Structure 1
């Protein structure tokens, strides 16, 4: 957290609220935030810059500046960008403040302290993003992409989908929901999936990420948009953090929590069979 839908929501907020503003002053409260260049050069190049645009690549939030530089933020677990006013000035965990024209201030805060920032020129930005896979809501992510990249590999499907070189922007919350929708067990080996399962995964990726954006992200604890508001997608999750509850499909199973690839993972063992015979496939073959 934040994952693609949360970063996309923040990006759209920035487009509507701060693009066109000038950065009049810069205060770096936590030097560990800045991974490059030096803190002094970082602040100096930001000071006086005009914000030309905002975009997202994977989980990277990119604030474009006139002149070619980009402020690139990875919000990691708990990063928040808050515009003051109208948001009340945060009193704790502030890492960076950008003083904007008109008396407004953009606060970057993170209770976990893991957020990181870089100020990159065009060439550095291209190099930074070059290893990322296609955007899952873009044209480059078609129905054959996942099978083409993963179909011959004996890797567990959940860690594979979390690999940003395979597809960009999916994190732990959304991958569990995607696998649930596609009725694929998180430990299934990629090379055992059928054509229908690859198609179901492709469809589930797009539908779940679009729903997350529509609901302005998922808030369990720290995530907020630029105006300090929580997301609503947590009210629409079916399996994530639902361990012990009945499967919402009505299959009679219950959601379980296990570690897969070192990550907390939630799924329905009845719908998402590790042998690959869950859901409609199992019914068709007489396994269930």
Structure 2
């Protein structure tokens, strides 16, 4: 699933490869993709628009147009934005085709079909993004922010990391790796963390997301960049989908459980379980 590092990589690719191009025609091949405005209007308003910029907010990819509007993508589980050529045109699962000047096409492909797109004006975009928490690399995001917003909560720490209204951009893969680095059980109650643990958690959030960006994202299954290339960060994962294998830090067996309804991977020996609830544990070692 594209998280902050993957969407950041795609954004950077678009800045280098697509910004400045004119959209000559838009073709929606999967009507479920378009959430706003109605499909016919979506296609009409994209035709002739020039791409002037690309940015990311949380897991949203924002493609800026010279019309003053923004084409906003949520790539969900398996969305891929592919530039043809040089990428060979995929044969299936194409949801959107943007024909660009110069004979190129930007395709949105999603084998899961869950990707969504919106064409929004400035006020609509601001409203859409207004409920998101701070970016992990922003000045607003500090150890103090983490402690003040999360520290009084008795909720388990992993679901809080995934709450986009609290922190933008973290998904299941990076949450597991962050908690591993911070030596925290995903079941720890936020209210039980010490000052030192908040500092470790803050540092782990920033370092793991930075590493994911440096390695151009994590390809566990479907993620690809704009040129169809897999990321490299999967080669650096310590616990995510490493269940049944040894913890690289202490040698104990990495386990998979459901925490907050999400598959969660961690080392029960060296990730401190102090202050955890332990309710609803479901081991998954298959």
- Provide TM-score, normalisation by structure 1: 0.95
Counterpart of 1:280 in structure 2 is none
Q: Is the 8 A contact 2:243 2:253 kept in 1?
A: yes
* Structure 2 residue matching 1:241: 3-state secondary structure: coil
Aligned to 1:181: 181
Report the counterpart of residue 47 of structure 2 in structure 1: 47
CA contact (8 A) 2:25 2:48 kept: yes
Name 1:272's counterpart in structure 2.
271
Q: Answer yes or no: is the 8 Å Cα contact 1:218–1:234 preserved in 2.
A: yes
What residue in structure 1 maps to residue 284 of structure 2?
none
Shift of 1:146: 1.0
1:83 aligns with 2:83: yes
Residue ranges of structure 2 left out of the alignment (5+ in a row): 277-286
Corresponding position: 1:239 with 2:243 = no
For 2:107 and 2:183, how far apart are their aligned partners in 1? Answer: 41
Report the counterpart of residue 280 of structure 2 in structure 1.
none
- Which 10-residue stretch deviates more, 238-247 or 113-122? 238-247
Q: SS of the counterpart of 1:82? A: strand
Residue matched to 1:30: 30
Unmatched tracts of structure 1, length 5 or more: 278-288
State the partner residue of 2:254.
Answer: 255
Q: CA RMSD in A?
A: 0.9
Give me the whole-angstrom Cα distance separating, in 2, the residues matched to 1:33 and 1:10. Answer: 19
SS of the residue 1:144 aligns to: helix
Measure how far apart 1:276 and its partner are.
5.5
Partner SS, residue 218 of structure 2:
coil
Query: Distance in 2 between the 1:13 and 1:7 partners?
Result: 10
Instruction: Give 1:144's aligned residue.
Output: 144
Deviation at 1:85, TM superposition (A): 0.4
Distance 2:210 2:251 in 1: 28
| Structure-2 separation of matches of 1:189 and 1:276 | 6
The answer to whether residue 193 in structure 2 is matched with residue 193 in structure 1 is: yes
- TM superposition shift of 1:210: 0.3
2:169 corresponds to: 169
- 2:242 alignment partner, SS class: coil
Provide the residue aligned with 1:281 in structure 2.
Answer: none
Partners of 1:252 and 1:2 lie apart in 2 by 30
Distance 2:114 2:214 in 1: 27
CA contact under 8 A between 2:135 and 2:169: conserved in structure 1? yes
Alignment-derived partner of residue 68 in structure 1: 68
Contact in 2 for aligned 1:184/1:276 (Cα 8 Å): no
Partner of 1:15: 15
Residue 189 of structure 2 contacts residue 275 of structure 2 at CA under 8 Å; is this kept in 1? no
